A and B are shown apart, each in its own frame.
Chain A
Amino acid sequence: MSRIGWTLVATVAFGLAYSRATPTPERARFSVPPNAASNETSVAAYETSTASSGVTPSVHSASAVELGDGGIFAVWYGGSREGARDVAIYSAIYDPARREWSDESVLTTRADTARELDRTIRKLGNPVLAKDAAGRIWLFYVSVSFGGWSGSAINVKRSDDGARSFGPARRLVTSPFLNVSTLVKGPPIPLSDGGLALPVYHEFIGKFGELLYLDAAGAVNDKARISSGISSLQPVVVPADGSHAVAFLRRSGGSPARVLASTTVDAGRMWGAVAPTSLANPDAAIAAIRTVAGDTLMAFNDSELDRGNLSLALSPDLGESFRVVGSVDPPGAPSSGGAQRLSYPWLLQTRDGDFHLLYTWDRARIEHVRFNRAWLDSR
């Protein structure tokens, strides 16, 4: 082909790419419901139940969303042990009126994911749920084709029928280096354009947090770095309004042994320096949400050394200060005889004002704590 011919071909190619690259006119902001008084009773309420039903000996990393009928749809991964080939994503539904969980069932398996993605998959890991502005439920979960968790990539499934069924898995590409080492743990934040902001983290060479921006179709259209370096993981983003938010991060490796925090004033595109909060962190996952009253509720291990307790704390000022409310009651002594481990909390406030905390107990059960604002205020 002549030089003129190649010039024409290149012009068409760049024109095509440029038309695809044209940005949306306005950057999406966080979608935050206005503060509201809780409509619940003033009588303190606190109760516990178990979400998992013992189908698998090992369970971990629960996530949950409220369904349209007020039920709670929860997922976690379970199998013979973490990282085993039989690990699958399990789900169960909580009926708030009857105060009981359904039997758990398999939502997707390693083989399902391999078939849907047209590639081999070695193991499945952390699942995260989100409900978008259109009421669709998104399941993000990690899978590994080779190596350890640092080889993770994120997959996404979507349900358009209230979690009764999910479509096939699709791979999110989030890193230029073989697309490895991006994981999920924190809840996605709805965006003003109908999309989601998904907190993710990397743990290959560096350990740091990022925020992925997904459009309403679930395609990544931007990302921002929350932290950098080798000592912060698993960001949880709590928005105050459309622009302001704080990201709380699990500290990993470096001192001090505190929950870390960073703030943004432009809906997450730029983040400030990471600084320690007043809350302890033993290198363990945290959960945090913005309550309907506008303050921040966090679940965390109140220790610099271990995961032996799981505590709750309230902050009226986006993490500048905290009041530790107290610890949740674990279900009993672990069957292993060792020290108990309460880990990977997930917080949710449902439309009736109640709070729901899911967490992993001793890697054997997904425990559920339901409490209300009056209980928090009475502590």
Chain B
Amino acid sequence: MTNVYGLLGAGLLVAACVKLFRHGPSARYWALAALVLAVAPIQGISLAGLVRAHTGDLSVTSVVLLLLGLGGALGVSERRAVSVCVVGLAAFLYPMALGIGRFDPYRLGYEPRILLGGLALVVAWSLMRGTRALMVGLVGAVAGFGLGVHESVNLWDYVIDPWLTIWALVQLWRGGGADA
């Protein structure tokens, strides 16, 4: 199941790239076609397998946001809320996980009751504020962790990934006002 998930995530990334260059009502059909072609194996390896080798497996949050974006359901305020949350988490996680100091926050993702508690607060806040994309992304990540869909057993890998962080930084830099 984890390989299917990984290929699906990479395929969605390919589909999102195609959609960037197609406009109008036909764009989502082009994206769907790109997804199908990306996950179809050619001589044992698919385009999604090639992409996945370079990107790693996307977090569930990224996959949910890609689906929302491909469906045209990711508004400006939604993107801003997601981006603030993602950049905050990334600022906490990546510097120390990459070797700064002796504390490794990535470790919190293996027995993640504390991390789950923090995410529950963010989900509750987003539910009250009506920032639905953030809520759906995080609930998707938590559900994905519960089902073990990702090849990682660490909750962080379900919640965040570097590509999502880059996307979030770009959104904040652009003020969240541009179209996705």
Contact = CB atoms under 8 A, between A and B. Distances in A.
Contacts, number: 150
Which of B101, B152, B160 has its CB near the most chain A CB atoms (within 10 A)?
A: B152
A230 B106 CA distance: 19
Interface of A is mostly: mixed
A152 to B, nearest CB: 13
Interface in A1-37: 3, 6-7, 9-10, 12-23
Contacts of A322: none
Interface centre among A15, A173, A206 (most CB of B within 10 A): A173
Nearest to A146: B54
Band of interface residues on A: 35 or more
Interface string B81-101: 000000000000110011111
B95 to A, nearest CB: 10
Interface in B35-64: 44-46, 49-50, 52-57
Interface stretch (B24-32, B67-75, B108-116): B108-116
B145 A20 contact: yes
Given A14-B120, A202-B99, A120 B156 contact: no
Interface in A163-188: 170-171, 173, 175-180
Contacts of B7: 118
B50 A120 contact: yes
A22 B110 CA distance: 10
Contacts of A207: 99
B97 A222 contact: no
B53 A145 contact: yes
Contacts of B162: 177-178
B54 to A, nearest CB: 5
Nearest to B163: A178
A177 B97 contact: yes
Contact of A229 (B94, B99, B113, B127): B99
Given A13-B143, A17-B146, A221 B116 contact: no
Interface string A92-124: 000000000000000000000011011111000
Contact of A119 (B49, B97, B116, B161): B49
A219 B110 CA distance: 10
Contact of B135 (A10, A178, A228, A229): A10
Contact of B98 (A14, A18, A177): A177
A229 B157 CA distance: 23
Contacts of B132: 6
Nearest to A15: B146
Interface in B133-180: 135, 139-140, 142-143, 145-148, 150-157, 160-162
Given A222-B111, A223-B107, 18 more contacts: A6-B127, A14-B119, A16-B142, A17-B116, A17-B142, A17-B145, A18-B113, A119-B53, A173-B152, A176-B93, A178-B55, A180-B56, A202-B99, A206-B98, A210-B104, A225-B102, A228-B100, A228-B101
- Nearest first, the 3 A-B pairs at minimum CB distance are A206-B99, A16-B146, A173-B152
19 contacts: A14-B123, A16-B146, A18-B116, A20-B145, A21-B111, A21-B155, A114-B49, A115-B44, A118-B6, A173-B157, A175-B106, A177-B94, A206-B98, A206-B100, A219-B153, A221-B153, A225-B103, A225-B104, A229-B99
